[in-house]
C-alpha cells in the first residue's frame, strides 16, 4: 500500500499535478501585471494566490506577502491572465499525412493523443479551451480526467460532436441528421452526453471536399430545431459558417456564435453586433503567414486552393468586424500550441487581431476576458482580479507596449498550481513543447 501511494505521489510530482502539500499561499512577484478589465498597468507587482484563487493583487508597496507564502519571483516579467482559445479540436486530423497514419486510430489511442494535446496546450499558456467538435465523446472523457486531476490540462468546455447534416461540413458519407426531428434528437443526445455548447455546421467548410464554403446547406427548420432544444437546456448554439446569408439566417434564429465567418459582410457583422453574437475568427487557417503549417502537415493541393480562395475575404471580414465592434473571442482551429510563424497558433491568432486593427489591449482581451464572457465564466477567470481562479501566465515585457512580448511566454499557473516556469530553478515542465519544425515523432520507431 505504502509503495503504491509513494508511486502515485511520484507520478503526481512528475506530471505537475496539484499536490496537497503545496496548500500554503504562493506570492508571485513581477515587473508588472495587466488588468485586462480596465487596461490599467500595475508596476512592481505582487499577486498572492491561496487555495487556487487570487487573494490579493497590487503593488509591492501595498500588498502584504503572508509569512508562510511560497515565493515565485519573476524579475523582468509581466503577468497576464491565462490565455483562452475557444475553437479547438484536440483530436484534429487535417487532410495530409496524418490522415493516413491515423486512419485506424482506436478510441483509446484517440483519447491519449487528445490528453497529450491538452497538456501541451496548457504548457503553451492556454488555461481554458472550448472544443468545437470532437468524435466518439473522447473529449468528455479527457475533460473529466483533467477535472479529476488524473493528468494536467486546461479547463475544457466542449460542444461534443458536431450536429451536422448529410453532406455537411465535417461529415463522411454516413447519413447524419436531416430534418428538424433528427436534429432535435442529435442535439439532445449531445447535451445528454455533457455538451456545454452545441455546434452546428450550416455551410460547407475548407476541410470537406464538395459543399461550398459560402453556401448555406443547413435548412432554417434544422437550425431552428437545434436552437430550440439547446435553449430549453440552457445551452447556446454556435455555427460553423462561411457565408453572410447563412449567418444572417442563423443569427435571426437565435444562434449565439459564428465560427470562421470567411465571407461575412459589413451588414451581417452589424447584425451580429446588434444581437450580441460572438465571432470566433480562426484567422490562422486562411492567412499566408501561417501557410508553413499546411506545408508541414502535407496538405493536398485542393485543400491549399480552398485556403487561398477564402483568405482575402476572411481578412476583410475580420477587419470589418473590428471596425464594427463585434465581440471577438480567440479561436485558432489548430492545436493551441501548434508552431506557427515563430510562435504558437494561439499567440499568432491574437497578433492577427492586432494587425486587423485592434489595440494591444483589445487583442489581449480577445484572448482572455472576452472568451470568459462568451463562456459565461467571467466571474471565475479571464482577468487577474481578487477572488478569481489563479490562471496566470508570465511574459518578458509589457504586451500593451510590445504585443510580441507574448511570444516569450515562459510561465504557466492554472488554479494556483505552477505547470511551467522556464525561469525558475525547478522547471515544472516534464513534456517539451514541440519544436518549430517537429520531427516525424508520430511514426512508431523506438530507435
- What is the binding site for Zn ion (CB under 5 A)? 333
Q: Quote the CA–CA distance of 139 and 379 in Å, as a whole number.
A: 25
Three state DSSP letters for 380-393: CCCCCCCCCECCEE
**DSSP at 310:** H
Please say which residue, 320 or 334, places its beta carbon nearer to Zn ion.
334
By beta-carbon proximity to Zn ion, the closer residue of 249 and 259 is 259
Cβ closest to Zn ion, residue 374 vs residue 412: 374
Contacts of 320 (CB under 8 A, 6+ apart): 264, 265, 266, 269
Long-range contacts from 366-370, C-beta under 8 angstroms, 24+ separation: 366/328, 366/329, 366/330, 367/83, 367/84, 367/85, 367/330, 368/36, 368/80, 368/81, 368/82, 368/83, 368/84, 369/36, 369/37, 369/81, 370/327, 370/328, 370/329, 370/330
Coil/strand/helix, residue 50: strand
Q: Which is nearer to Zn ion, 31 or 134 (CB)?
A: 134
CB closer to Zn ion, 55 vs 258: 258
CA angle 319-325-328, nearest 5°? Answer: 75
- Assess contact for 433 and 120: CB atoms under 8 A: yes
Residue 196 vs 333, nearer CB to Zn ion = 333
Task: Note the maximum CA span of the chain.
Answer: 66
**Cβ 206 to Zn ion, closest distance in Å?**
9
Alpha-carbon Rg for the chain, nearest whole angstrom, is 22
Are 201 and 168 contacting, i.e. CB atoms less than 8 angstroms apart? yes
Residue nearest to Zn ion (CB): 333
Query: Among residues 149 and 209, whose Cβ is nearest to Zn ion?
Result: 209
- Which C-beta is closer to Zn ion: that of 212 or that of 325? 212
Q: Cβ(268)–Cβ(247) under 8 Å?
A: yes
| Residues sharing a CB contact under 8 Å with residue 398, sequence separation 6 or more, in sequence order | 31, 32, 34, 41, 78, 405
Is the CB of 90 or the CB of 111 nearer to Zn ion?
A: 90
Nearest-approach distance from CB 428 to Zn ion, in angstroms: 30
Minimum distance from residue 162 beta carbon to Zn ion (Å): 9
Q: Shortest gap between Cβ of 139 and Zn ion (angstroms)?
A: 13
Q: How far is the CB of 134 from Zn ion (least distance, A)?
A: 10
Closest contact distance (angstroms) between CB of 159 and Zn ion is 10
| Minimum distance, C-beta of residue 195 to Zn ion, in the bound complex (Å) | 15
CA torsion, points 433, 438, 86, 429, in degrees to nearest 10?
A: -10
Least distance in angstroms from the C-beta of 99 to Zn ion: 16
Q: How far is the CB of 4 from Zn ion (least distance, A)?
A: 41
Task: Kindly tell me the number of DSSP H helices and DSSP E strands found in the chain.
Answer: 13, 16
Amino acid at each position: 500500500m505504502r509503495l503504491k501511494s509513494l508511486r502515485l505521489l511520484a507520478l503526481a510530482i512528475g506530471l505537475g499535478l496539484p499536490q496537497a502539500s503545496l496548500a500554503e499561499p504562493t506570492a508571485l512577484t513581477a515587473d508588472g501585471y495587466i488588468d485586462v478589465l480596465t487596461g490599467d498597468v500595475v508596476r512592481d507587482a505582487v499577486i498572492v494566490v491561496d487555495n487556487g484563487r487570487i487573494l490579493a493583487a497590487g503593488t509591492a508597496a501595498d500588498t502584504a506577502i503572508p509569512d508562510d507564502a511560497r515565493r515565485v519571483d519573476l524579475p523582468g516579467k509581466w503577468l497576464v491572465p491565462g490565455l483562452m482559445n475557444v475553437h479547438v479540436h484536440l483530436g484534429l486530423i487535417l487532410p495530409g499525412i496524418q490522415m493516413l497514419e491515423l486512419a485506424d486510430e482506436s478510441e483509446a489511442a484517440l483519447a491519449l493523443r487528445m490528453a497529450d494535446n491538452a497538456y501541451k496546450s496548457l504548457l503553451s499558456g492556454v488555461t481554458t479551451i472550448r472544443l468545437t467538435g470532437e468524435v466518439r465523446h473522447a473529449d468528455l472523457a479527457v475533460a473529466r480526467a483533467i477535472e479529476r486531476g488524473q493528468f494536467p490540462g486546461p479547463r475544457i468546455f466542449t460542444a461534443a460532436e458536431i450536429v451536422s447534416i448529410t453532406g455537411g461540413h465535417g461529415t463522411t458519407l454516413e447519413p447524419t441528421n436531416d430534418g428538424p426531428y433528427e436534429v432535435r434528437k442529435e442535439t439532445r443526445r449531445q447535451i445528454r452526453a455533457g455538451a456545454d455548447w452545441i455546434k452546428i455546421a450550416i455551410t460547407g467548410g475548407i476541410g470537406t471536399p464538395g459543399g461550398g464554403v459560402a453556401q448555406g446547406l443547413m435548412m432554417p427548420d434544422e437550425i431552428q430545431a437545434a436552437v430550440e432544444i439547446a435553449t430549453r437546456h440552457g445551452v447556446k448554439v454556435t455555427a460553423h459558417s462561411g457565408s453572410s446569408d447563412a449567418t444572417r439566417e442563423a443569427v435571426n434564429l437565435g444562434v449565439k456564435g459564428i465560427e470562421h465567418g470567411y465571407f461575412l459582410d459589413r451588414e451581417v457583422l452589424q447584425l451580429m453586433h446588434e444581437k450580441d453574437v460572438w465571432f470566433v475568427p480562426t484567422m490562422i487557417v486562411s492567412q499566408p503567414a501561417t501557410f508553413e503549417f499546411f506545408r508541414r502537415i502535407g496538405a493536398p493541393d485542393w485543400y491549399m486552393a480552398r485556403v487561398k480562395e477564402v483568405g482575402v475575404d476572411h481578412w476583410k471580414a475580420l477587419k470589418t468586424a473590428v471596425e464594427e465592434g463585434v465581440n471577438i473571442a480567440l479561436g485558432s482551429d489548430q492545436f493551441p500550441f501548434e508552431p506557427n510563424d515563430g510562435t504558437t497558433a494561439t499567440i499568432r491568432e491574437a497578433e492577427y487581431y492586432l494587425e486587423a486593427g485592434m489595440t494591444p489591449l483589445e487583442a489581449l482581451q480577445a484572448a482572455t476576458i472576452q472568451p470568459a464572457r462568451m463562456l459565461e465564466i467571467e466571474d471565475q477567470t479571464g482577468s487577474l482580479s481578487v477572488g478569481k481562479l489563479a490562471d496566470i501566465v508570465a511574459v518578458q515585457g509589457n504586451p500593451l507596449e510590445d504585443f510580441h512580448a507574448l511570444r516569450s511566454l515562459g510561465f504557466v499557473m492554472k488554479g494556483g498550481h505552477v505547470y511551467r516556469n522556464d525561469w525558475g530553478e525547478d522547471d515544472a515542465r516534464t513534456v517539451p513543447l514541440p519544436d518549430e519544425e517537429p520531427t516525424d515523432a508520430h511514426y512508431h520507431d523506438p530507435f
